[in-house]
Structure 1
Amino acid sequence: MVNETTRLSAQDWARAALKAMADGGLAAVAVEPLARTLGVTKGSFYAHYRNRDELIEAALAEWVRTHGEGGLAEFAAIADPARRLRELLTTVVRSVQPLAPSVHLSLLGDRNDPRVGAAIREVNRARLELMTRTYRELGLPPARAAHRARIAYAAILGLLHLAQTDEDPPGSAALSNEATTLFLPS
């Protein structure tokens, strides 16, 4: 909890809104409960945002920044495509935590909101482009690389979905080894 004398940034509020979204979608983003969670008054909110919609837009922009192209930059910089894919799959699979809330999955319930739909499309686009490029660099023809990327990404989202209800999943090391074996072209 933040001390009342601590000044929160707009980004602090956006990150708190993202956590709320992970727990309950757009409906969970409300100023007063967020202020209580952050340990401040709602006046702190109004120092950064005019209204809830601005906060939602900032939170979605933060999610796109950290989970889209910007969040993938370290992987995109890996020159060897096999190593890039292995590290990407290992990192993603190991980050999936049992029963952990997910911004991505929670936002799907609000996908008809134009802001949410655009954010999901942008994150999906960045991830699929990186994976498709990687498969192309591994020697797959363009159409096959795009299909392989889509299937691998669907598997990742499926693991994320399973983690929402699976209290006793297989170990992440075993899953990441299996993912690497399954999705690296032979």
Structure 2
Amino acid sequence: MVNESSRLSARDWARAALKAIADGGLAAVAVEPLARTLGVTKGSFYAHYRNRDELITAALEEWGRSHGTEGLTEFAAITDPAERLRELLTTVVRAVQPLAPSVHLSLLGDRNDARVRNAVHQVNQARLELLARTYRELGLPPSRAESRARVAYAAILGLSQLAQTDPDAPRSAVLAEEAAALFLTLG
């Protein structure tokens, strides 16, 4: 018989915690409900973590990696900056689904927690740096590239927020085309 703690990894627990965070912030991360969701006992949890705080820290690190620099690797590898921006905007906007929970937006409710501030800062910085680099490569001066990156990123976050509350939001494909057209215009 396979030991249940060997079936689930620490990363499995961290990912389950991220789903809970998306649905209800840090307060939603509780060992017993997560164990039930994962179909295991609390013993599996304690094989990987000493306590809930360790799990939250691991979950935030996982989110930081997967949505920060590592999550942007495929886009950063696109050599044509216009194509990179188009792909990035299209992928991100198409991922926005009506009423879908968001880790990023849920974490804003817990922004006074230093771990949350650090994770959100890490993700924001990675995304802003890639956008600013792309706008510089498209010919904008550095200060303008940085401000354009911030506006584009704010629009993406705004679309995510609207999608969480508006079941009648336009289809993401339409929004992706509009975002690409708007943010590829450099004039």
TM-score tier, shorter chain, comes to over 0.9
Equivalent position of 1:172 in the other structure: 172
Q: Is the 8 A contact 2:5 2:47 kept in 1?
A: no
Q: Which stretches in structure 1 are left out of the alignment for 5+ residues?
A: none
The one-character-per-residue Cα deviations of 1:44-71 (angstroms, maximum 9, x if unpaired) are 0000000001000000000001000000
Task: Report whether the alignment pairs 1:83 with 2:78.
Answer: no
Q: Is the 8 A contact 2:13 2:45 kept in 1?
A: yes
Q: Is the 8 A contact 2:5 2:44 kept in 1?
A: no
Equivalent position of 1:69 in the other structure: 69
Aligned residues: 184
The one-character-per-residue Cα deviations of 1:54-109 (angstroms, maximum 9, x if unpaired) are 00000000000100000000000000000000000000000001000000000000
What SS does the aligned partner of 1:164 have?
A: helix
Q: Is the 8 A contact 2:135 2:145 kept in 1?
A: yes
Q: Which shows bigger deviation, 168-177 or 147-156?
A: 168-177
Equivalent position of 1:33 in the other structure: 33
Equivalent position of 1:54 in the other structure: 54
Q: Is the 8 A contact 1:13 1:45 kept in 2?
A: yes
Q: Which stretches in structure 2 are left out of the alignment for 5+ residues?
A: none
Residue identity opposite 1:159 in structure 2: L
Q: Is the 8 A contact 1:138 1:185 kept in 2?
A: no
Identity %: 79
Equivalent position of 2:134 in the other structure: 134
Scaled by the length of structure 2, the TM-score of the pair is: 0.96
Distance in 1 separating the partners of 2:90 and 2:159: 13
Point out 4+ residue stretches in structure 1 off by more than 2 angstroms: none
Scaled by the length of structure 1, the TM-score of the pair is: 0.96
Distance in 2 separating the partners of 1:117 and 1:5: 31
Distance 1:151 1:142, change over 3 A: same
Task: Report whether the alignment pairs 1:115 with 2:118.
Answer: no
Q: Which shows bigger deviation, 50-59 or 164-173?
A: 164-173
Residue identity opposite 2:135 in structure 1: Y
Distance in 2 separating the partners of 1:130 and 1:96: 20
